[in-house]
Amino acid sequence: MNLSYWEQQSWLSNIDFTIIGSGIVGLNTALNLKARFPKASILILERGILPNGASTKNAGFACFGSLSEIIDDLNSHSEMEVLDLIKRRTEGLKLLRKNLGDEAIDFKCYGGYEFFLPEDDDTYDQCLSGMSRINELLRPLFQEDVFTTRTNTFGFKNIKEPLIYNKFEAQINTGKMMEALLQKVYSAGIKILNSITVQEFSEANSSVEVKTDKFDFSTKKLLVTTNGFASQFGISEVKPARAQVLITKPIPDLKIKGTFHLDKGYYYFRNIDNRILFGGGRNLDLKTEETTEMFQTELIQNKLEELLSTNILPDTQYQIDRRWSGIMGVGNQKGPVLKQHSENVYFGVRLGGMGVAIGSLIGKELADLV
């Protein structure tokens, strides 16, 4: 692509900070850099026509961990580590709400529920017996019991009862959140170029040379926020994890309201605009789902439909409106990879399944590393 003199001068010269990726982390990093360095020239490069990873694809749970997930995490992390993870998620959610405002993101605190199938006997019993221990662990953060039980008033069938309830869990409108964030970025005078894929970069004399599929240029600092795609740049601690979703058409008199988790967080559903959004099932075929290809598979979509018609909407007529998938970044540890990679290159990746919660915080911390 032959850029004109003007294009080169106005968009690709004297760039202080270049960010790869316009997801929650990339956009928050840009805003925090602008706040610290108001005169800096900041450029965001995004491979998609819209952000094309997880931030515009997710389920919009404003959550910090279901009871079974927290109990499971205690098998591989210490109590202090688990408490710290949850603290960071709640702090991240506060920051998201403060930055954008509850109205702009449609923040609704309808509460969250955990839902167990008959075959989840052991996990259900562990949750009931471990509930008071976890409530005590979380008391310093919430000052009251987080987890209680509630009767099933939603018409779910063939599940263990009562449900486990978390009154602090909320939901947001993912599309509105990303629109509000993008609007803030544009208003701050930060440039975004879409449909540009960064292919490689290299350090060179106090700057970084960046090669894209359309042009090459130089930037003083480079910040990589490509999450599930980070292994492209040699970050082996991050693996892609595809997450598949479906949404129904509007259902008259839908009684289901809230965010719902099943199977240690591997499945999740919520109400939105009188519809049910339902995702998950990656654990049915972890190997195939370790991919950056945004497709759906019959295996997982069929399982989602089976759970929908058997357990979630057993007596309700519904139609599927749309299906999609997004790519998360996961690894052996739950925390993100936040680090200076070389003299002028920084990484903020591996947000796992909680990027709505921690994305704003990681963007701030990445900007503070520079």
Ligand X SMILES: Cc1cc2nc3c(=O)[nH]c(=O)nc-3n(C[C@H](O)[C@H](O)[C@H](O)COP(=O)(O)OP(=O)(O)OC[C@H]3O[C@@H](n4cnc5c(N)ncnc54)[C@H](O)[C@@H]3O)c2cc1C
Q: Does 355 bind ligand X (CB under 6 A)?
A: yes
- 192-197 long-range CB contacts below 8 Å, 24 or more apart? 192/22, 192/43, 192/44, 192/45, 192/46, 193/11, 193/43, 193/44, 193/45, 193/46, 194/22, 194/46, 194/48, 194/49, 194/50, 195/46, 195/47, 195/48, 195/49, 196/45, 196/46, 196/47, 197/47
Quick note: the x/- pattern for ligand X over 212-251, rule CB under 6 A, is: -------------xxxxx--x----------x-x------
The amino acid occupying position 201 is F
Strands 259-262 and 267-272: what pairing?
antiparallel
Q: Does 24 bind ligand X (CB under 6 A)?
A: yes
DSSP 312: I
* Partners of 212 in the β-ladder: 198
Q: Which of 351, 361, 367, 370 binds ligand X (CB under 6 A)?
A: 351
Q: Does 22 bind ligand X (CB under 6 A)?
A: yes
In whole angstroms, how far apart are CA 13 and each of 27, 201, 297? 21, 16, 44
Nearer to ligand X, 185 or 328 (CB): 328
Least distance from ligand X to the Cβ atom of residue 65, Å:
10
Please report, as residue ranges, which positions from 151 to 210 form the binding site for ligand X (by CB under 6 A): 197-198
Cis status of the peptide bond prior to 118, with omega within 30 of 0: no
DSSP 308: I
Nearer to ligand X, 126 or 173 (CB): 173
Q: Does 32 bind ligand X (CB under 6 A)?
A: no
Q: Does 123 bind ligand X (CB under 6 A)?
A: no
Nearer to ligand X, 159 or 192 (CB): 192
Q: Does 258 bind ligand X (CB under 6 A)?
A: no
DSSP 283: G
DSSP 213: S
Least distance from ligand X to the Cβ atom of residue 253, Å:
25
Q: Which stretch binds ligand X (CB under 6 A): 101-109, 129-137, 306-314, 356-364?
A: 356-364
Q: Which of 19, 31, 42, 54 binds ligand X (CB under 6 A)?
A: 54
Nearer to ligand X, 60 or 258 (CB): 60
- Residue 195: count of CB within 10 angstroms of its CB: 12
Q: Which of 258, 265, 326, 331 binds ligand X (CB under 6 A)?
A: 326
Q: Does 354 bind ligand X (CB under 6 A)?
A: yes
Rg (CA), the chain: 21
* Cα dihedral 366, 336, 325, 90 in deg (nearest 10): -90
Q: Does 47 bind ligand X (CB under 6 A)?
A: yes
Nearer to ligand X, 96 or 131 (CB): 96
Query: Of all residues in the chain, what percent are helix, strand and coil, respectively (each to 5)?
Result: 35, 25, 35
Q: Does 65 bind ligand X (CB under 6 A)?
A: no
Least distance from ligand X to the Cβ atom of residue 164, Å:
18
Residues that bind ligand X (CB under 6 A): 20-26, 45-48, 51-55, 57-61, 197-198, 225-229, 232, 243, 245, 279, 326, 328, 351-357, 359
